[in-house]
Amino acid sequence: MRQTGGRTVGIHLTYGGQYFGLLGPYQVNGGWWSSAAPVVERVSEELGVPVVVLRLAFAPSDGSSGYGGHVVYHVEALELPAGATPRQATPEVATLLGPAERRAAWATSAGLREALDWAEAALDRAGRPADDRPEQVRTWNLSGLFRFRTAEGGEAWLKTVNPAFNAREGEVIALLGSVDPTLVPPVIGSDTKHGRLLLDHVPGDDLWSPSAEQVVAVVPRLVAAQAALAASGRAAAAGLRDRTLPTLVAQVNALIDRLAAEQGTLRETGADGPEGQPEDQLTETELAAARALAARLPALVEELMLCALPNTLVHGDFHPGNWRSDGIRTVIVDYADSAFGHPALDGLRPRQFVDEDRWTQIAEVWTRAWREHAPGSAPVRALELVEPLFHFAYAVRYQEFLDHIEISERPYHETDPASEIRKALACGYQIP
């Protein structure tokens, strides 16, 4: 899932409410659009002042999936660049940089400063004051990420998310940590109302290519924690987003109905264009097949229930990039997608990120752990059955993203709901 290479960027520069024009293009390392650090480094070097990336202002709608090409950002200078002269923004630029519905709080100058001030205050309360300006690592419609260097030589990480459609990560970490405190990152501060989380640094690397030993170090521990939370009833009582299978089936049907209605409107108005079927739209044949598959999902849910795995806290994005280890301790990070649902949705997630040999091992470790913690269950069968629902669940989740982000950020996810529905259709299961 990792790529190398870069991108070219242009920047609309502002400072203190004044506009200073479109600058660039600049060549930067790191091709992911959400990777802010290379942009900050390049632009700060060019202007001679510190800057922050507020948001993506333009990206190609060509299936780039958040990587490469030429993109344009709104960048805020934290000090006035020497020799910079304010100018009048054109009406188009003023609209682009002006307020917008569903804009993330950290994508505005005021909201970003508030988040950074909150983090600095939390560090002060913890007796670990910040040593310098924080380093912006990432920003996009789903989250913002900053690294703080602290006076005693440590590090801390500020993560911001939209609380309207994301899990309350601080509470999720506390819940999971109550049964295995070594499985989660240490929390310095949490502001669930505003979607802010301040984490202590976890040494090591993200395990995008996990070894057999690293798989054993994380997968059975998550299963053990999930089983414990299910048995105690605490997962059910935690107020997590409902992703139980019957609820998911209802959400899938609502999504298919919605996509069909939206595409019908596009066809009636001619807005879908003359050049074939866009990637973000399903064909009539695909919609009919999706409806037929959705009609058979209740029977699939019944079969999954017979596998006797309990509903519990699910991580929601349990891929190896969210496992982190220094060779001594392995933790799981990034709980924004967490919910209450079927654990096989987590069990299947790593398959898209590893080769076949590693996936075979992960599946074996996962199923063995569930047989141990849920005697009489059938986790192997659950992994086999859950695949269509797994992809439908991601289609629903990606649509939630699109429903809560501003228009300029939609190229990140525009094609994802249709893509996941196509993957569900490709599973080839014959459900009674």
pLDDT in tens, 279-315: 788 999 999 999 999 999 999 999 999 999 999 999 9
Helix (H, G, I), strand (E, B) or coil at 399: helix
Average pLDDT, integer, range 224-241: 98
Confidence of residue 59 (pLDDT cuts 50, 70, 90): confident
pLDDT at 159 over 80: yes
Angle, CA 233 vertex, CA 169 and CA 308 arms, to 5° = 105
Does position 430 have pLDDT exceeding 70, yes or no?
Answer: no
pLDDT band (50, 70, 90) for residue 422? very high
Cα–Cα distance for residue pair 300/425, rounded to 1 Å: 14
Does pLDDT of 167 surpass 90? yes
Q: Per-residue DSSP letters for 143-195? A: -EEEEEEBTTS-EEEEEE--TTTS--HHHHHHHHHTT-GGGSPPEEEEETTTT
pLDDT of residue 274 exceeding 60, the answer is no
Q: What is the pLDDT of residue 1?
A: 44
Q: To which H or E segment does residue 212 belong?
A: helix 212-232
- All domains in the chain, ordered by first residue: 6-98 (3.90.79.10), 107-201 (3.30.200.20), 206-425 (3.90.1200)
pLDDT of 43 above 80: yes
SS3 at position 22: strand
Give the number of residues written for the chain: 432
Count H helices and E strands in the chain, helices first: 13, 15
pLDDT recorded at residue 52: 98
Q: What is the pLDDT of residue 28?
A: 94
Tokens (6 digits) for 64: 């780039």
CA dihedral sign of residues 303, 308, 310, 315: negative
Average pLDDT, stretch 400-413?
A: 90
Structure tokens at 381: 């069968």
Chain segment 14-33, per-residue pLDDT in tens = 999 999 999 999 999 988 99
- Which band of pLDDT confidence, cut at 50, 70 and 90, is reported for residue 203? very high
Query: For 340, how many CA atoms within 13 A lie in the half-sphere containing its CB?
Result: 17
The answer, yes or no, to whether residue 272 has pLDDT greater than 90, is no
Residue spans of alpha helices (H) in 312-415: 344-347, 356-373, 379-385, 387-404
pLDDT of residue 60: 77
* pLDDT confidence of residue 4: 53
pTM: 0.93
Could you tell me what percent of the chain has a pLDDT over 70?
94
Q: Quick one: tokens of 310?
A: 């309990």
- Residue 157: pLDDT over 50: yes
Q: What angle do CA 25, 406, 37 make, to 5 degrees?
A: 40
Whether residue 2 has pLDDT greater than 50: no
The predicted pLDDT at position 62 comes to 65
What's the confidence (pLDDT) of residue 410?
86
- Contact between 25 and 9 under an 8 Å Cβ cutoff? The reply is yes
248, 326, 257: which is closest to 291 by C-alpha?
Answer: 257
Q: In what order do the strands lie in the sheet with 144-149?
A: 135-139, 144-149, 155-160, 196-200, 187-191
pLDDT of residue 401: 96
Does the structure show a pLDDT above 60 at 431? no
Segment 66-89 mean pLDDT: 94
Q: Is residue 201 scored above 60 in pLDDT?
A: yes
Amino acid at position 196, single letter: R
Check residue 155 and give left, alpha or beta (phi > 0: left; psi -120 to 50: alpha). beta
Given strand 51-58, what is the order of strands in its sheet? 18-29, 6-15, 70-77, 51-58
What digits encode the pLDDT tens for the residues 100-132?
999 999 999 999 999 999 999 999 999 999 998
Nearest to 41 by CA among 31, 30, 50: 50
Summarize pLDDT for 329-361 with one digit per residue, the tens: 999 999 999 999 999 999 999 999 999 999 999
Task: Give just the sign of the alpha carbon dihedral 125, 127, 133, 136.
Answer: negative
